[in-house]
C-alpha cells in the first residue's frame, strides 16, 4: 500500500515539474513593461502632424475642426509642444504652446487672436484639465512622465486574439497597497503599444477612456495610431483625433517653431473655409453605434 502511495506522489511531483518547466519565460513587471513602452515611443520624438478634430456633445451635435500639431523631444527628455487650429474661422489661429522639462515641470501658454492681443497668455490647465475645448488634458495629449508614477502589472487579457498586459498606474508617492490606481493601461504584448487607457476617480470609477485605432507600424519596433478617441463619461462628451498626415523629421519641428515670434509670423491668412470632414467609422463619433472590434 505504501509503495502505491509513494508511486502516486512521485507521479504527481513529476507532473508538477513538467508543468512548471513548460511555463513561458518570466512575465515582466509593470515598470519593465512601461520602460519598454517608453523606449519604443522615444524612437519617434520629432513629429509634425495635420489632424481633423471631431467634437461630439451629449446631444450628438458635432463640431469639426482642423489642427496642426508639432512636438519635439530632446535627448534629455525635455518636450516642446504646439497645437494650432486652422479651421473653422472662429478658432482660426488659436494656439497652445507648452514646454515640459525632463522633471515634469510644465509651462503652458495660449494664443487667442480673437481677443486682439498679440501676445501669449500663461494658463494653468492642471494635470487633468482639458485643453482648448477638447476632452484631452495636456498630459493625455503628449504622454506621461514615467518618473512621476509607479507601474504595477494587474494581469493579462486576451481580446480579439491579441494578448495585453494590464498595467495599473499610481502616483509616485502613492501607497500602492492602500490606494487605488489613477488609470489602467492596456499594452499589446506583441508590440508594447498602449491601445487603451482607462482614467479612474479615487473610488475606481471610470471617468475617461482613451482608445487608439488604425495602428500602423512606422519602424521595426515602433507603432503609431491613425485615430485617437477620448470619451469623457463624466460629461458625456467625446473628442476624436484623426491624423491625416504625419512627418517624422527634425526639419519640420525646429526649435524656433516653439516660440511666439514664429507663431505670429507663420499664421496663414484668414480664409472663409469649412473644416474638412474626416471619413471615420460612425461608431467612433456616434455613441449609439458601437465600433467594430470594441
Q: Name the phi and psi angles at 211, rounded to 5.
A: -125, 135
Checking if the pLDDT of 12 tops 60, the result is no
Mean pLDDT of 205-212: 96
| Each residue's pLDDT tens digit, 99-156 | 988 887 888 888 887 665 555 666 655 556 688 889 998 888 888 888 889 999 999 9
Instruction: Please check the confidence at residue 292 and state whether its pLDDT lies above 50.
Output: no
Q: How far is Cα of residue 177 from the mean position of the Cα atoms in its chain?
A: 26
Q: Note the pLDDT tens digit of each residue in 225-246.
A: 999 999 999 899 999 999 999 9
Q: Which residue has the higher pLDDT, 133 or 281?
A: 133
pLDDT digits (tens, 9 = 90+) for 165-201: 999 999 999 999 999 999 999 999 999 999 999 999 9
Q: What is the pTM of this model?
A: 0.80
Q: Buried b vs exposed e over 86-107: b needs ≥16 C-beta within 10 Å?
A: bbeeebbbbbbbbebeeebebe
Amino acid at each position: 500500500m505504501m509503495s502505491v502511495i509513494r508511486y502516486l506522489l512521485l507521479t504527481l511531483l513529476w507532473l508538477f515539474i513538467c508543468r512548471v518547466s513548460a511555463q513561458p519565460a518570466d512575465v515582466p513587471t509593470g515598470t519593465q513593461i512601461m520602460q519598454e513602452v517608453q523606449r519604443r515611443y522615444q524612437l519617434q520624438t520629432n513629429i509634425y502632424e495635420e489632424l481633423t478634430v471631431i467634437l461630439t456633445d451629449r446631444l450628438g451635435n458635432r463640431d469639426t475642426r482642423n489642427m496642426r500639431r508639432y512636438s519635439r523631444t530632446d535627448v534629455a527628455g525635455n518636450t516642446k509642444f504646439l497645437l494650432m487650429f486652422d479651421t473653422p474661422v472662429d478658432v482660426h489661429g488659436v494656439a497652445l504652446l507648452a514646454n515640459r522639462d525632463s522633471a515634469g515641470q510644465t509651462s503652458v501658454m495660449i494664443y487667442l487672436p480673437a481677443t486682439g492681443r498679440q501676445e501669449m497668455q500663461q494658463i494653468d490647465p492642471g494635470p487633468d484639465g482639458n485643453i482648448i475645448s477638447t476632452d484631452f488634458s495636456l498630459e493625455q495629449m503628449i504622454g506621461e512622465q514615467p518618473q512621476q508614477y509607479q507601474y504595477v502589472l494587474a494581469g493579462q487579457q486576451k481580446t480579439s486574439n491579441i494578448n495585453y498586459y494590464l498595467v495599473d498606474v499610481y502616483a509616485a508617492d502613492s501607497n500602492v497597497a492602500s490606494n487605488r490606481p489613477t488609470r489602467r493601461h492596456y499594452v499589446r504584448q506583441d508590440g508594447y503599444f498602449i491601445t487603451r487607457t482607462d482614467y479612474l476617480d479615487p473610488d475606481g470609477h471610470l471617468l475617461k477612456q482613451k482608445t487608439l485605432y488604425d495602428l500602423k507600424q512606422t519602424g521595426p519596433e515602433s507603432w503609431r495610431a491613425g485615430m485617437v478617441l477620448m470619451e469623457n463619461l463624466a460629461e458625456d462628451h467625446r473628442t476624436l483625433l484623426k491624423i491625416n498626415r504625419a512627418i517624422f523629421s527634425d526639419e519640420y519641428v525646429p526649435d524656433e517653431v516653439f516660440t511666439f515670434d514664429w507663431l505670429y509670423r507663420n499664421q496663414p491668412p484668414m480664409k472663409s473655409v469649412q473644416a474638412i470632414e474626416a471619413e471615420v467609422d460612425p461608431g467612433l463619433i456616434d455613441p449609439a453605434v458601437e465600433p467594430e472590434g470594441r
